[in-house]
Amino acid sequence: MTDLTSLSASALSAMIAGRRVSAVEVMQAHLDRIARVNPGLNAVISLRPADDLLAEARAADAAPRRGWLHGLPLAVKDLALVKGIRSTSGSPIFADLVPAEDDALARALRATGAILIGKTNTPEFGLGSHSFNPIFGVTRNPYDGSRTAGGSSGGAAAALAARLVPIADGSDMMGSLRNPAAFCNVYGFRPSYGLVPSDPVGDTFLHQLSTNGPMGRTVEDVARLLESLARPDPRLPHSRPPEAYSDGLDSDPKGARIGWLGDWGGAYPMEPGILGLCETALETFTALGAHVEPVAPPFPAEKLWDAWITLRSFAIAGGVAPLHANPKTRALLKPEMLWEIERGLALSAMEVHRASTLRSQWFATLAALFQTYDALVLPSAQVWPFPVEWRYPETIDGHPMDTYHRWMEVVIPVSLVGLPALALPAGFGPQGLPMGMQLFGPRGADRAILRLGQAYHRATDWPARRPPAL
């Protein structure tokens, strides 16, 4: 009998639609696997009672089909608010929060027929690419339980790789879809900023650094989940019209021009083996007929970093400063959050303006570069999955890191200007640890990037290499 947990979300969707399998059978298979595997990983948290989930699956089997996710079990990243499910953001401040309403992401998933079974683990408030928090503990890497699954979508990536869920949502400010995808050998897609809406709460004009997005074990699943999440909202100033991302996904990449940025001329320290693995993975595109060539650093890395840490602290402080103002909640904030808020509160308007001017210059530089290249590539991470006991890497190949997040600097050229980026699995290092690379293009080129990713997936299918111990 087919192991239902091994199938893609698209395959399961077709089977449920064709009555070849029931939503109850799919739910039971995933619940059984969660019971068996999740205790060693801690990827899925706040799991709803099995009887309630099976009852919901039976109701799905008897109801008209709502969408392609109809009857599929999904666990939502614990930064999202989900009605009736504990939604903590990994913070003791919200340890007991059970929302009365869904947020935009949860509503979109339910509208397409998904059954929301619980949450996936995340760092406290999503800060830091290592998924641990004082409520649920640490999420472990399915390929090596002594190593991190990354973050902040670490629980989602680990749950996908371990076949606990068929598909997952994530979010990305500083590589939170791309880093865990690389560490767990799955796909993660950061869409063009504005394509996937959030609720119109607080400022909706200035803070363009973070977005929700899809994760999956196939590019088709990623494209289809993007269709479910990309719902224009006229209340949002950066809202973008969606496309049929899964239509015409299979295309010939012959003649596509891809630029390899490597380590940005040495500006981004890399652990040994990462660059070589990515360069080997890029040979797949060459074999498919694309033109791949190295690109010199197009902009000073230090200017990008300066703009990034200013705009990031500005955004974070704007969102959670009230928690800092209250002594009781301030005492419960982790040091990284205090650092961000206090930096953000100390910024002047002109400092933010200068950072945004640098961002604007980088966007214009990229626009010129994309006249030559269809896509650019960087590694998705600068380090291999590191020990779970670490808070964060303090050095990279002998280079000291001066902040808690400098070790993820390679993701900010994309994040700073809201570009679409697909995290592609690139294979495994000598220790059996996964790594990946980020394929990105101009804003609005989401469909083109997914098509290139589909050609790569057809030729490689790295996620089919399951964790050996699972």
Quickly list DSSP for 314-344. HHHHHHHHHHHHSHHHHTTS-HHHHHHHHHH
The reported pLDDT for the residue numbered 469 is 84
> pLDDT tens digit string along 403-447?
999 999 999 999 999 999 999 999 999 999 999 999 999 999 999
Q: Which is catalytic among the residues 77, 89, 198, 380?
A: 77
Lookup result for tokens 């640890």: 433
pTM recorded for the entire structure = 0.98
Q: Which is catalytic among the residues 46, 87, 91, 152?
A: 152
Instruction: Respond yes or no: is residue 176 known to be catalytic.
Output: yes
Please tell me the distance from the alpha carbon of residue 78 to that of residue 328, in angstroms, as a whole number.
23
Q: Which is catalytic among the residues 13, 89, 131, 176?
A: 176
CATH placement of domain 4-304+351-464:
3.90.1300.10
Instruction: Respond yes or no: is residue 303 known to be catalytic.
Output: no
Task: Tell me the one-letter amino acid at 266.
Answer: G
Q: Residue 224's closest CA among 450, 468, 462?
A: 450
Mean pLDDT by 10 residues, the chain (470 residues): 92 98 98 98 98 98 98 98 98 98 98 98 97 98 98 98 98 98 98 97 94 98 98 94 95 98 98 98 98 98 98 97 97 98 98 98 98 98 98 98 98 98 98 98 98 98 95
Q: Residue 215's closest CA among 226, 206, 205?
A: 226
Instruction: Respond yes or no: is residue 77 known to be catalytic.
Output: yes
